[in-house]
Amino acid sequence: MTEPAHQKRKRPPTASFVVVANRLPVDRVENPDGTTTWRTSPGGLVAAFQPVMHRHGGAWVGWPGAPGEELEPFVDNGLQLVPVTLSARELEEYYEGFSNATLWPLYHDVIAHPEFRREWWDAYVEVNDRFAERAAGVAEQGATVWVQDYQLQLVPHMLRERRPDLRIGFFLHIPFPPTELFNQLPWRLPILRGLLGADLVGFQLPGGAQNFIRLVRTRLNLETRRDRIQTVDRRTVMAAAYPIAIDAKAMHELALRPETEERAKEIRHNLGDPQTLFLGVDRLDYTKGLPERIRAFGELFAEGLIDPERVAFVQVATPSRERVEQYRQLRDDIDRLVGRINGDLGRLGRPPITYLHTSFPQTEMAALYRAADIMVVTPLRDGMNLVAKEFVACRTEDQGALVLSEFAGAAYELRQAYLVNPYDIDGLKERVLDAMNDSPRNHVRRMKALRRQVFENDIDKWANSFLTDLEQPAPEEGT
Ligand code: F6P
């Protein structure tokens, strides 16, 4: 669509609930003919937060996805959106640089080498300050402001300096690294101080919260007691785990629609009605373990352990951060790997691997989840991985199986998945075969348990538990 008609230009709104995230839920895209379109932003954060915002109302402060856009606040799909402008240089230094070539690899176990560049840090400070300023202008007196993710770790402190009346929460969607890795960061102290501006700092897993508490104790000499930290300005900050969830009911309902079922059948048919359909869905990111997974499938096909006449593997890789060198390299590597396997093992109209470098709307995703038999989610490191939970929510008949990396945050809760170490290619192959050859009875037993987990711990419960803890007054010292 071109400039959407349903958007009304508005005066800057104020709100009692404000979410601050690097991206708005919609990205503004320039078309070659000069027109602009809006599309849903990529990634788990937006998928998880849309329903939270629709339930709570309020304003969403974020970047509209293209450089140099000076946009007024507007309303889209019932949400108040407050754009923050980033110049092309800031995009390069703050987003592609410090956020995605320094913090991202450092926080994901240095799977790729993090680069430490002082000019990137300067841009990170500058842009975080702009987000804080924007949020300070939007929040009503005494409002709750919930800051999201690694791109904005300085915002809690910067915001508190401007607006001590606010209740400030912070949630980190990616892993918080072990102290040995975090300590490599030349700017470790300002990052810790930035986060401590919040009243509540949330992590995906208890290990992340413990790493953070240990760091503030050892690096900032602050007093800590269980999940509480005493700051120098005598505030109490809580640091705890809140594993993020999905809108399980909405996914389930989407999967149940007759048109989804129709489309699922069509997908299987187009793939030659395989006996078993494996599916992978990831952002094209080096943390997702795609080369390892594709190599494992290539070997399984080549060794005759799975039969390309009866088994198909579909891998969807959503384009991501395409100007960052490591991501370009990864794309080339995967193109080559898939090309070689299909070239060696495919026959006319029947490639063993169907590789799609694209993104799909949620309706098509639900159809893919329904069409598949076995979902393969094997990141080398992942904060949570909501795709794994979405797949489970779409298994309306309790069938199929999930092969899941031990290093995805989701493995902490989804214990009935076929868990695997994705670095171990032989182990990965074995696990894929285990999942494929297990009895339907075992599949149903495991899937029922997974579904119970996903439905009992949905996105509303997650948001409510974070926001309830955030609203609680800090306990008196000594209690
Ligand atoms: O979960 C990490 C994250 O950066 C989210 O903030 C975002 O949803 C997703 O990855 C996509 O990344 P980007 O906004 O860089 O495209």
- Give the pLDDT of residue 4: 43
The per-residue pLDDT for 10 is 47
Exposure string over 26-36, b if 16+ CB within 10 A, otherwise e: bbbeeeeeeee
- State how far the Cα of 140 lies from the Cα of 143, in Å rounded to an integer: 5
Q: What is the mean pLDDT of residues 448-469?
A: 97
**Which pLDDT belongs to residue 474?**
67
Partners of residue 197 on adjacent β-strands = none
**How far is ligand 1, taken at its centre, from the CA of residue 45, in Å?**
6
Going from the C-alpha of 107 to that of each of 145, 177, 309, 336, 418, the distances in angstroms are 24, 5, 41, 28, 25
Q: How do residues 59-72 score in pLDDT, each as one tens digit?
A: 999 999 889 878 89
Task: Give whole-number Cα distances, 132 to 17, 45, 163, 432, in Å.
Answer: 15, 19, 10, 46
Q: Reply yes or no on whether the pLDDT at 20 is more than 60.
A: yes
Nearest Cα residue to 20 out of 112, 164, 192, 154? 154
Those residues whose C-beta lies under 8 Å from the C-beta of residue 371, and which sit 6 or more positions away, are: 263, 264, 265, 267, 268, 277, 279
Strands 236-241 and 200-203: parallel
What is the predicted pLDDT for the residue at 144?
97
Nearest ligand 1 atom to the CA of 173 is 1
Which helix (H) or strand (E) covers residue 201, if one does? Answer: strand 200-203
Res 415 pLDDT > 90: yes
- What's the whole-number mean pLDDT along residues 288-310? 96
Q: From the candidates 173, 247, 443, 458, which is the catalytic residue? A: 173
CA–centroid distance, residue 296 to ligand 1 (Å): 27
Determine the distance from the C-alpha atom of residue 167 to the mean position of all C-alpha atoms in its chain, rounded to a whole number: 25
* Residue whose CA is at the smallest distance from ligand 1 atom 1: 173
DSSP H/E element including 45: helix 44-56
One-letter amino acid for residue 314 of the chain: V
**Which residue ranges have their beta carbon within 6 Å of ligand 1?**
22-23, 42-46, 149, 173-174, 320-321, 383
pLDDT at 316 over 50: yes
pLDDT at 2 over 60: no
Asked if pLDDT for residue 3 goes beyond 60, the answer is no
Helix/strand/coil for 228:
strand
- What whole-number distance in Å separates Cα of residue 292 and Cα of residue 179? 27
The answer to whether residue 398 is catalytic is no
Task: Mark whether 335 is an active-site residue.
Answer: no
Model pLDDT, residue 11? 54
Q: Give the Å distance between the CA of 23 and the centre of ligand 1.
A: 8
Residue 202 burial (10 A CB sphere; 0-12, 13-18, 19+): buried
Q: Is 225 helix (H, G, I), strand (E, B) or coil?
A: strand
Orientation angle between helical segments 248-256 and 362-371, nearest 10 degrees: 70
Confidence of residue 28 (pLDDT cuts 50, 70, 90): confident
Average pLDDT over residues 135-142: 97
Between 285 and 78, name the one with better pLDDT. Answer: 285
Beta-bridge partners for 405: 420
Residue nearest to atom 5 of ligand 1 (CA): 45
Contacts of the segment 101-107: beta carbons below 8 A, 24+ positions apart: 101/324, 101/325, 101/326, 102/185, 103/150, 103/151, 104/150, 104/174, 104/287, 105/326, 106/177, 106/181, 106/182, 106/184, 106/185, 107/150, 107/174, 107/175, 107/176, 107/177, 107/181
The pTM for the full model equals 0.95
**pLDDT tens per residue across span 376-385:** 999 999 999 9
pLDDT of residue 347: 84
Q: What is the pLDDT of residues 237-261, one digit of tens each?
A: 999 999 999 999 999 999 999 999 9
Confidence of residue 8 (pLDDT cuts 50, 70, 90): very low
Query: Is the pLDDT reported for residue 322 higher than 60?
Result: yes
Which has the closest alpha carbon to 201: 164, 234, 172? Answer: 172
- Between 33 and 352, name the one with better pLDDT: 352
* Residue ID of nearest Cα to ligand 1 atom 11: 43
Q: What share of the chain in percent tops pLDDT 90?
A: 85
pLDDT for position 35: 81
Q: If you average pLDDT over every residue of the chain, what do you get? A: 93
β-pairing, 223-225 vs 228-230, is antiparallel
Task: Name the residue at shortest CA distance from atom 7 of ligand 1.
Answer: 43
> Is 33 in a helix, a strand, or coil?
coil
Provide, rounded to the nearest whole percent, the portion of the chain with pLDDT above 70.
Answer: 96
- The pLDDT tens digits of the residues spanning 118-127 come to 999 999 999 9
Calculate the alpha carbon distances from 393 to 23, 38, 44, 277 in Å: 26, 28, 15, 18
Say whether pLDDT at 479 is over 70.
Answer: no
- Centre of ligand 1 from the C-alpha of residue 42, in Å: 7
pLDDT at position 48:
81
Q: Which atom of ligand 1 is nearest to the CA of 47?
A: 8
Q: Give the residue, by CA position, lying nearest to ligand 1 atom 12.
A: 43
Average pLDDT of the segment spanning 182-206 = 98
Which of 27, 39, 40, 45 gets mutated to test ligand 1 (max ligand atoms within 8 A of its CB)? 45
pLDDT at residue 201 tops 70:
yes
- Mean pLDDT along residues 370-374: 98
d(Cα 17, Cα 91) in Å, to the nearest integer? 27
Residue 420: predicted pLDDT: 98
136/41: higher pLDDT: 136
Residue in 149, 318, 384 to alter for ligand 1 test, most ligand atoms within 8 A of Cβ: 149
Average pLDDT over residues 324-337: 95
Q: Could you tell me how far CA 273 lies from the centroid of its own chain?
A: 32
d(CA 394, CA 450): 11
